[in-house]
Structure 1
């Protein structure tokens, strides 16, 4: 099979789980013998543009005509079996859908977040869940609140794109791949076509870095941002420290807008180590040495890659009990779920998972089994190819139906 992947890569200054998923899927397909070509733009390239060109970027968010022409030409030349769309913000735009229609190539789109119903894609405002725009045809609440980067002006292009391209998305994509059932439920309630929304969890490559002992630290691995729950974790850890600690340090790995705050909080403490941004190898090693991985997100995560990475290493998880985490983590079996946004509940779960080594070991083994059954490369490849074939068959049936209608029309005219 020949798959063309369309993706706007996120800036490299901060870790991107989405970039990682795109690269891992492409490598998985190539290893299985499929041909994968890439049509991409890079957000990093914006910095090198002229001032005038930078100022024009928001105008390209709803529609980039140059992308439509360039991609349509590529599709006519290469004739892939399917186009797999990932992120289109800010430089690709939904013009990729028109290019697929121009060339008659079926499109599959992975929905990595909630941008189909929420301009910033987080379903969160002021640190709390928000669904004001779900089901709204205009997304005006997002503009009113300045939901993207706390700016009404910056939110406008996203809201406009959502409004003017809604029908194009819903009719131009054969299969939407939701990365959790929780995400699919939200999107169905918003009015998206349920028959085109399939659940395909992200997979994680297997790893030789697996936990062999009890672990030596608690680990937070991710973006240092409000939505990821880092402030909640700091407050919970302060509560734990005030009552004597758990005997091991908290390791925080990542970068993001709250980096200075995290650095200042960790400075001079023996029970906290802020280690900055780890590469893939060091991430795997840090996970394998963990008593547990902590994922206290305050927003409704559509998936949770670090949770499955922990499972692959045989490490249990402490995660917020909402969003996709509820279907990824079986409470009391593969980890513990805390009440979302509650410091005391998070602190209690961390204490429990660190205080019972035997139970912790059993949870780690159960987490590894869960990974093998649902999130391994073999499972990921099978589900991905199934959705590609469904999309191709759907487009072929549509084309046959169009030809039949055209033939009947010709017969009537005679």
Structure 2
């Protein structure tokens, strides 16, 4: 097949699960013999723009006419079978949809978060779940609260884009790839067209390193942000330390807005190590050396890449018991779930998974089996190609193809919690 992938790359200063997923899917498709081209913009480029061009960037968020012209011309010249859309904020914009329509090329889109129904895409405000904008034609609550970067001004372009492009998204994409059944359930309840929503979990390449021993640390790997549960983890770890600890240190890998706070908290402690950013090989080694990987997000994660990366290495996880984590982590089998937002519950689960050695090893083996069955490259390739062929068939009038997964966990070849057949960090 001939596929064109469109993606606005996130800034390289902070780790991006979406960037990683896009790169891995492109490499996977190419290795399988498919022709893959990339149409992208980079948020890093904004820093090098003139002052006048920087001022114009918010105006391009709802619609970038030059992108429509450039992409449509490229599609007419290259005639790909399908366009796969990922992130379009802030430089691509939903103008990519018009370009696909102009050239008559079917489009699929991976929904990495909740930007279709929530301007910042998190369904969270002030550290708590928020659905004020869900179902609204005009998401004024997000503007009123300044939900994006705590700024009303910065939120306006996102809210405007969500409002004016809603119908364009819902009618211009043949198949939306939801990265979990939990995410799909939320989007269907919010009014998105159920017949266009299919579950396609992200895959993870088989790592070079797997756990072979007991593990040397508990690991947090991800963005240092409130929504990722970093403050919750610090509180829980302090409770554990006050009660004698768990015998291994906490290692924190990543960067983000809470970096200074994490650095200060970890300073001078023997039971905590903050190591900053790691490259891919270092991340794999850190995961393989873990007693457990912790994912305490306070927002409803649409996926949870780090959980699957831990599975691939044969390492169990402790994760918040909501969002996609409830279908990724089989509680008591491949890891443990804690009560969302509850530091005492998180501390108890970390202690349990760290001190019960035999059970930990058993969960690690089960996690690896789950990875092989649902999140390997072979499974990922099959689902990508199946989704593309379905979109092409629908556009050409050949029928709907395989049905998307229903919003009940009743089993499906596309993967649900019942079938145990599954990005951000």
TM-score when normalising by structure 1: 0.96
Once residues 398 and 286 of structure 1 are traced to their aligned partners in structure 2, the CA distance between those partners, rounded to angstroms, is 48
- Verify: 1:363 aligned to 2:363, yes or no: yes
**Ranges of 4+ aligned residues in structure 1 off by more than 4 Å:** none
- Verify: 1:176 aligned to 2:179, yes or no: no
Q: Which residue of 1 is the match for residue 334 of structure 2? A: 334
SS of structure 2 residue aligned to 1:54: helix
Once the two structures are superposed, residues 157-194 of structure 1 have per-residue CA deviations (whole angstroms, 9 ceiling, x without a partner) of: 00000000000000000000000000001100111100
- For residues 238-387 of structure 1, the aligned pairs below 5 Å read 238-387=238-387
Shift of 1:208: 2.6
SS of structure 2 residue aligned to 1:58: helix
Once residues 138 and 398 of structure 1 are traced to their aligned partners in structure 2, the CA distance between those partners, rounded to angstroms, is 35
- Verify: 1:200 aligned to 2:200, yes or no: yes
Shift of 1:338: 0.1
Once residues 362 and 134 of structure 2 are traced to their aligned partners in structure 1, the CA distance between those partners, rounded to angstroms, is 40
Once residues 365 and 128 of structure 2 are traced to their aligned partners in structure 1, the CA distance between those partners, rounded to angstroms, is 34
Change (3 A) 1:73 1:398: farther
Once residues 205 and 170 of structure 1 are traced to their aligned partners in structure 2, the CA distance between those partners, rounded to angstroms, is 31
Shift of 1:207: 1.4
Once residues 285 and 355 of structure 2 are traced to their aligned partners in structure 1, the CA distance between those partners, rounded to angstroms, is 22
Once residues 225 and 398 of structure 2 are traced to their aligned partners in structure 1, the CA distance between those partners, rounded to angstroms, is 44
Once residues 120 and 167 of structure 2 are traced to their aligned partners in structure 1, the CA distance between those partners, rounded to angstroms, is 19
Structure 2 stretches lacking a partner, 5+ long:
400-425
Change (3 A) 1:21 1:369: same
Shift of 1:142: 0.4
Once residues 224 and 244 of structure 2 are traced to their aligned partners in structure 1, the CA distance between those partners, rounded to angstroms, is 26
Structure 1 stretches lacking a partner, 5+ long:
400-414
Once residues 43 and 313 of structure 1 are traced to their aligned partners in structure 2, the CA distance between those partners, rounded to angstroms, is 32
Once residues 355 and 177 of structure 1 are traced to their aligned partners in structure 2, the CA distance between those partners, rounded to angstroms, is 39
SS of structure 2 residue aligned to 1:220: strand
Once residues 263 and 330 of structure 2 are traced to their aligned partners in structure 1, the CA distance between those partners, rounded to angstroms, is 33
Shift of 1:398: 7.7
Shift of 1:356: 0.5
TM-score when normalising by structure 2: 0.93
- For residues 82-231 of structure 1, the aligned pairs below 5 Å read 82-231=82-231
Q: Which residue of 1 is the match for residue 422 of structure 2? A: none
Once residues 336 and 186 of structure 1 are traced to their aligned partners in structure 2, the CA distance between those partners, rounded to angstroms, is 23
Shift of 1:223: 0.2
- Verify: 1:235 aligned to 2:235, yes or no: yes
Q: Flag the structure with larger Rg.
A: 1
CA RMSD of aligned residues (A): 0.8
- For residues 4-19 of structure 1, the aligned pairs below 5 Å read 4-19=4-19
Once residues 153 and 125 of structure 2 are traced to their aligned partners in structure 1, the CA distance between those partners, rounded to angstroms, is 16
Judging by fraction of residues, say which structure has more helix.
1
Shift of 1:8: 0.2
